[in-house]
Structure 1
Amino acid sequence: MTHPARLETLADLRVEIDCIDSELHQLLIKRGEIIHRLIEAKTRQGGGSAFRPGREADMMRGLVARHQGLLPLDTVESIWRIIISTFTYVQSNYSVHADISGGDAKMRDCCRFHFGFTVPYAPHPDVNSVIAAVANSRGDLGLVRVEGDAASGPWWRSLREPRAPKIIARLPFVERPDHPAGMPLFVIAQPLAEAAVRDVVLYDVECDGWRDAPPSHLGLPDAEIVSAAPDGARSSLLVAADGAVSAQQLRETLTKAGAIQLSIAEVGGHAARFEASEAQRQQTPFVAAR
């Protein structure tokens, strides 16, 4: 005699969920133990930066490529960003200094989405104050809007000197319509000796003027003028170019465009941007631990 299959009850499903929750917690504890060993290994090898923006971008690309099911990608991205940022904080305490000249609420939301609540948040009235705070810290980060702060002028000039802070990342790592923390941001940090990313390189371009009108775009592929501002009698541009484009190529292009008394200095770099749809189409296989 056959018996009808037993139907799952709510209690059965809740027990299964509780088991998964317990496993997730144990995995986070195990991850913390590995981070402890990682800190010891770094100490033995002479130290190293806790920030790995290229690795983080690769992790987020892999996360998006793997993701499926009912859970919104926004939630998954936020969880992993908090895990990454918090374990980085465990390795080396840091604060995030944010330019709130465009409003505190939106910047605070972006900071909490990308860095969680464990990492201290320090608001500043303008971008120059953020750069100064990062420069005077032992390892803090700064968040500034890609669109910039018109009142602060060409703020990127403060990043010219070799020992000055540099742009190390652009957020969000995963771009998509209606991103809950989609305001484009640059992350500024002390120069990263061994972990800098050069998919996209950023330059401060200064000149005495232009023979004709300033260019609205560059003739180089994968290069753009991110921002422009007068600087006394001189003009200053923040230019982003593909990492394969040399400073000399950029110089020649701008000279042909009419730049007079040109000066170029590298002010940072970041991982190439990618869209969620692009990463999911590629289905890039990826296995990594921070």
Structure 2
Amino acid sequence: MTDEALEPGSPRPTLADLRSDIDRIDRAMHELLMERGRIIDRLIEIKTQQGGGSAFRPAREASMMRAIVERHRGLLPLDTVEGIWRIIISTFTYIQAPYSVHVDVSRGDAPMRDSARFHFGFTVPCVPHLGAGDVIAAVAGSTGDLGMFALDGGPRADAWWTRLTPREAPKVIARLPFVERSDHPAGMPVFVISRPLADGGARDVVLEAVSLDRWRPDYPFALAAIGAEIVASAAERMGLGLLIARPGAIDPELTAATLRAAGARDVRSVEIGAHAARADAATLRPEGARGYREP
């Protein structure tokens, strides 16, 4: 019973009325979650009849989260809504096909634990590791687990992305948090990896592992001209390794060609995954520090 629903001259709702409304909404939300579970049960049955398929659908997840960001209004912090939906998505995925998340804690347990629990909740088991390389190895040896580590691979990292270059090696499927904002409660930028997905991947941003002869100052500017950026770099045995993110819509050969035009030699590039473009919360009008009102 909201103020907007009142007829002219009708009495304003009491605290008891408002609490009754809250109880009604709580019951409705719970019923909807249980209904979602029943639909997932039917989905599992259909997938089983059709020979299975990956439970991870990064493109669909990104579409759902983007729609939530675009329609969110009111006092409730966007972070809360994002966290609730991340847990709903991750938990129902777990119900379809149980999995664990292997997490690199070499940077410290607290920030990665916060990120893992914000994005995957408490139902999905989290397994700690020391280094991106160990996470990659654990995912490669699993039947359907995910891995998560910082964009730079953490303090123990070398050119970790080269471990993703073999065809059957794990690949990057997401970059989190999906909602970009400066004060995000789980704001550490992380990559999520899985064994190669047959379908359902998002390709707004493609990641390439690039090997070349050496560093040149023109690389960042040349890549920026095609919408690409260097995410990380590390020395390799025979030269330099770069992790480059480029728009998924451009020619796959353009990254290497751009580096050659900037003076690079012996350029070799291998795609190691892709992810959705993130949603920018700054496009919403802020109310205070954490909430958003309708523009």
- In the superposition, the TM-score normalised over structure 1's length comes to 0.91
Asked whether the equivalents of residues 131 and 153 of structure 2 are also in contact (C-alpha less than 8 Å), the reply is no
Corresponding residue of 2:112: 107
- 5 Å-filtered alignment, 1:109-124, equals 109-124=114-129
Q: What secondary structure sits across from 2:38 in the alignment?
A: helix
> Which stretch has the larger CA shift, 69-78 or 217-226?
217-226
Residues 1:215 and 2:219 aligned together? yes
- In the superposition, the TM-score normalised over structure 2's length comes to 0.89
- 5 Å-filtered alignment, 1:160-175, equals 160-175=165-180
- 5 Å-filtered alignment, 1:91-106, equals 91-106=96-111
Amino acid at match of 1:135: A
**Unaligned runs of at least 5 residues, structure 1:** 281-290
Residues of 2 paired with 1:193 and 1:45: CA distance? 15
Residues of 2 paired with 1:100 and 1:232: CA distance? 27
Residues 1:17 and 2:22 aligned together? yes
Aligned length: 277
> Which stretch has the larger CA shift, 146-155 or 234-243?
146-155
> 2:35 aligned to 5, 13, 30, which one?
30
Corresponding residue of 2:202: 197
Q: 1:279 to 1:33 in 2, by over 3 A?
A: farther
1:274 is displaced (CA, Å) by 2.2
Asked whether the equivalents of residues 154 and 236 of structure 1 are also in contact (C-alpha less than 8 Å), the reply is yes
Asked whether the equivalents of residues 218 and 224 of structure 1 are also in contact (C-alpha less than 8 Å), the reply is no
Amino acid at match of 1:277: A
Residues of 1 paired with 2:151 and 2:163: CA distance? 15
Corresponding residue of 1:270: 275
- 5 Å-filtered alignment, 1:1-290, equals 5-209=10-214, 215-219=219-223, 220-278=225-283
**Unaligned runs of at least 5 residues, structure 2:** 1-8, 286-295
Q: 1:55 to 1:279 in 2, by over 3 A?
A: farther
Asked whether the equivalents of residues 62 and 279 of structure 1 are also in contact (C-alpha less than 8 Å), the reply is no
Overall identity of the aligned pairs, in %:
56
Compute the RMSD of aligned alpha carbons. Answer: 1.8
Q: What secondary structure sits across from 1:170 in the alignment?
A: strand
Q: What secondary structure sits across from 1:151 in the alignment?
A: coil
Q: What secondary structure sits across from 1:209 in the alignment?
A: coil
Corresponding residue of 2:6: none
